[in-house]
Structure 1
Amino acid sequence: MDEHLAETSATRGRGTVELPERVRSPWFVLGRRLLLALAILAGTVLLVYLDGEGYRDGNDPDNEISLIDAIYYTTVTLSTTGYGDIAPVTDTARLVNALVITPARIAFLVLLIGTTLEVLASQGRELLRIARWRKNMGHHVVVIGYGTKGRSAVETLVGNGLDREHVVVVDPSSTALADAHADGLAVVTGDATRRDVLRRAGVGDADQVIIATGRDDSNVLAALTVRQLNPETWIVASVSEQENAPLMRQSGADSVITSSDAVGRLIGLSTLSPTLGVVMEDLLTYGEGLEVAERELLVAEVGKQPQTLPDQVIAVVRDEKVYRYFDPVVALLARGDRLIVVRPAKELPWAPRPGTHNEDFASDED
C-alpha cells in the first residue's frame, strides 16, 4: 500500500494529464478477469477430481484419476488442446462436460482473449484522446488550484459561454482531481510551480491563467513560472493578505484579488447597512439577480454620456484603462470604448444591452 501511494504521489508530481470520465484502470480489469479465469480453472479441476471414476486415462493401466490428472485434463480441455488421453466415459461425466465444462471453456477463452484486446484497446483509446486533446488545445484557460475559488471561477467562465474543453485544471490533490473530473474538466496533476507540469497544461498557448491555490507563496511562485513560460498570457491571481498583493503583481499577475479583504469589507458593509450587504452579495452571486458585465459600445451610443444609456454604466474602458463613469475623460463615449455595466443576470454579459443581442458595435474599425 505504501509503495502504491508513493508511486502515485511521484506520478502526480511529474504532471500527468488525466481527462474526465476516465474508466477503471485496464490493469485492474485484467487482474480481476485473471482471477475469474483461475476460479473457472479451479472449479473445473474440482469437478473432474470428484468425478474421477467417470473418466478413463489411456496411459494409466489402473485407470485412476489423480489430482494431477484432473489439473492436466482441465488445462488441456479449457485451452481446447484436447490430446484425448483422458476422456469421460460415464453418462454423468459426459453430461458434466457438455453442460458445465464446455461453457466454462468458452468463458475461459473469452476472459483471456477479450481482456487482452480490451487492455490494448483501452490504452490506445486513452492515448488517442490525450493526443487529440493536446492537438486541439490552445487559447484556453488554465486554472491553478481547484478549491472553492477555482471552482467558482470555472463556474463563472462556463456560465458565460466558455466551453469546458477549453479549461485545464492544475492541482496535485486527489480530491481536486475527482471534483474536476466530476465537472467534466481535464486535469494535470502536479505542482504548478514546476515548469514541466505547466507545459503539460499548455500554459505557453493559454490566453488566461487563473491562480487560486490556498497559499500566497505558492501563488507567487506559480505566477513567476507562468510568466516565464508565457509573457503574453493574462494572469489573474488571488492572495489571502493585502500585503502580498504588490508582490503578486511584481511576480507577473495582471489582476490581483485579495480574498480576505474582500470578505472583510462585505461583512463590514452588511453590518453597517444590511440592505447594502444584500445588494453586494447579489452582485457577487453568479446567475441570480444582478450581474456586473463588460460589453462593447453600440454605434448609436457614440457621443452620448455614460449616464444616459439604458444600462447602468459604472465604468468605461478606453485604451485599456478603466475610468469611472463620472470621470471627465469619458464624459462623451467614443468609438472603441467598452462599458462596465450592472444588468440583470439573465442577460448575457456580451449582449449589447438587455433585449438587443444583434446590434452593431462601435469598434475602431468602423
Structure 2
Amino acid sequence: MNSKNIFLSQTAIEVKYKQLQKELIGGAIAIIVIFLLGTLWYKFIEGWNWLDSIYMTVITLATVGYGETRPLGDRGRLFTIFLIGLGIVTIAYIVNQFTEAIIQGYFQEGRKLRQLKRLIETLREHYILCGYGRTGKQIAQEFQAEGISFIIVDSDLESVELAQQMGYIVVQGDATLDETLVKVGIERATCLVAALPSDAENLYTVLSAKTLNPTVRTIARASTEEAVKKLQRGGADAVVSPYITGGKRMAAAALRPQVMDFVDGILTGTDRSFYMEEFRLDPEVCPYVGQTLKDARLRSQSGALVVAIRRADGTLIGGPTAETVLSARDSMICMGTAEQLRLLNQILSPLASKRLRLPKHNL
C-alpha cells in the first residue's frame, strides 16, 4: 500500500496541529464566556450573590443535576435550559477535538515537530541537501561517513520517510521556496547541494539560496550541458552532471584502471588509509604565509603531501615545487593519513585549528 495513504506529511501534520490548537483555544474561550454569561445573569438578573451565581453556573454547565440553588421563575428556567444547551454543545466539541488529536497522534507529532524545529535552530555551518533521490542518497551517505552536520529537504513524502528511517534530519518542503530554505537555516549554512530531479528546480533553489545567503557555497546537479551553463550563470559555485561525469569516469576506468581505483578509494571512502583535505591559509593564524614550501617544511613536519594549491584568484598550481610561495588565502589540497592531516591542520592553524572530519580510530 502506498505510504501516502497511511501517513500524513510533515506539512499536513503541522497545519492540522496548529488548527487543533486554535480550535481547542477557541473552545476554552467559549466555555469561559458562557461561564461569565451564566454568572452575570444569576447575579444581576436573578439578584443572587456571587457565590450562589458561580455555583449555579458550574452545576448547570456540568449537568450534575443537583437542582436549583434558589427558586427560579419561568424566565430563569428558560435561561438555564439555554445555558445547559450551550454548555453541552461546547464541551462536546472540545472533547471531540481533544479525542481526535489523541487518536490521530497530533500531540505526539506536534511535539516531534517542535523538537525538530529546535534542533534545526541549533545547527551552525551545516550542509543543506535538497532532494533525497538516487543522487541525494549517495550524497547523504558520504556526508554521514564524514561526520558533518546536514539536513535534508524534500517535498516527496516517501523520500522523507526513507530519510527518517536512516536517522537523518529531514524537513518536508519545496526547496525552491525562500520560506523553506529559511526554515532549514540557510543564513547559517556553509553549503547547499541542489540534487532535485529537474534542472529548473535546482536553478530556482540556487537562486533562492544565493539571495538569502550570498556567502553560502552552492553545488547543483545538472542533466545536460545547457543546464550546466545556466546553473553556472545562476550563481552555482560548482555544477555536476551525473551523466557527463559518469561517462568520463567510466572512460578513465577503462583507460587508467589503477589510477581510478586509487582516486576512488580516497574520494569515496573505499580505502580509508589515505584521505584528501583542503586547508585555507588564513594570514591571521597561519605562520607560514609568505614562505616557500621548502622553508615551511610541511612534508617533513607532518608527513602529508601537498598535491595542489589554488590561489585566491582561482589559479590552480598542480604539483607545487619546493620554491612555490604560500600566499594569504590560498587553498592547499593535501593527501595523507588521518593522523598526518590532523597534524598538518595544527601546524597551519596553531591558534585557531579547525576540526577535521576524519575518523578517530585511525589516530
* Shorter-chain TM-score range: 0.5 to 0.7
| Count of residue pairs brought into register by the alignment | 260
Query: After the TM superposition, which of the residue ranges 212-221 and 317-326 deviates more from structure 2?
Result: 317-326
* Counterparts of 2:270 and 2:120, CA distance in 1: 32
| 2:178 paired with 1:181 | no
Q: Distance in 2 between matches of 1:321 and 1:254?
A: 12
Q: Which amino acid aligns with 2:210?
A: R
**1:340 partner SS:** strand
CA drift of 1:296 comes to 5.2
Paired residue for 2:275, among 277, 282, 291? 291
**What is the root-mean-square deviation of aligned Cα atoms in Å?**
4.2
CA contact (8 A) 2:304 2:340 kept: no
Q: Indicate the residue corresponding to 2:333 in structure 1.
A: 340
Unmatched tracts of structure 2, length 5 or more:
15-63, 65-97, 353-363
Deviation at 1:238, TM superposition (A): 1.9
1:199 to 164, 175, 182: 182
User: Following TM superposition, by how much is the alpha carbon of 1:237 offset from its aligned partner in structure 2, in angstroms?
Assistant: 1.3
In structure 2, what residue type is equivalent to 1:303?
T
Q: How many angstroms does 1:148 deviate by?
A: 3.2
CA distance in 2 between counterparts of 1:237 and 1:5 reads 32
Q: Residue 293 of structure 2 aligns to a residue in which SS? A: coil
Which protein, 1 or 2, shows the higher relative CO under an 8 Å CA cutoff with sep ≥ 6? 1
Distance 1:303 1:15 in 2: 60
**Matching residue within 346, 351, 361 for 2:349:** 361
Secondary structure at the counterpart of residue 321 of structure 1:
coil
Contact 1:304/1:333 (CA < 8 Å) preserved in 2?
A: yes
TM-score (norm 2): 0.58
Q: Quote the residue 2:108 is aligned against.
A: 122
CA distance in 2, matches of 1:348, 1:210: 29
Residue by residue, what CA displacement relative to the aligned partner does 1:162-182 show, whole Å, maximum 9, x if unpaired?
24xxx2211122332122212
- Map 1:181-330; keep pairs closer than 5 Å: 181-286=164-269, 288-289=271-272, 290-295=274-279, 299=287, 302-305=291-294, 309=299, 310-319=303-312, 321-326=314-319
Q: CA offset at residue 265 of structure 1?
A: 1.2
Structure 2 residue aligned with 1:146, among 132, 135, 139?
132
Instruction: Give secondary structure in 2 for the equivalent of 1:236.
Output: strand
Instruction: State how far apart, in whole Å, the 1-side matches of 2:13 and 2:320 are.
Output: 50
Q: Which amino acid aligns with 1:156?
A: E
Unaligned segments of structure 1, at least 5 residues: 18-80, 82-111
TM-score (norm 1): 0.58
Amino acid corresponding to residue 324 of structure 1 in structure 2: I
CA-to-partner distance for each residue in 1:284-337, whole Å, 9 max, x for gaps? 322524432213567479422599834332211332635223569982224554
Contact 2:192–2:216 (CA under 8 A) maintained in structure 1: yes
Distance 2:106 2:203 in 1: 42
Q: In structure 2, what is the Cα distance between the partners aligned to 1:280 and 1:326?
A: 16
Instruction: Give the Cα separation in 2 of the matches to 1:198 and 1:174.
Output: 18
Question: What's the CA shift for 1:340?
Answer: 0.3
Name the CA shift for 1:330/1:179 in 2 (closer, same or farther; >3 Å): farther
Return the offset for 1:222: 1.7
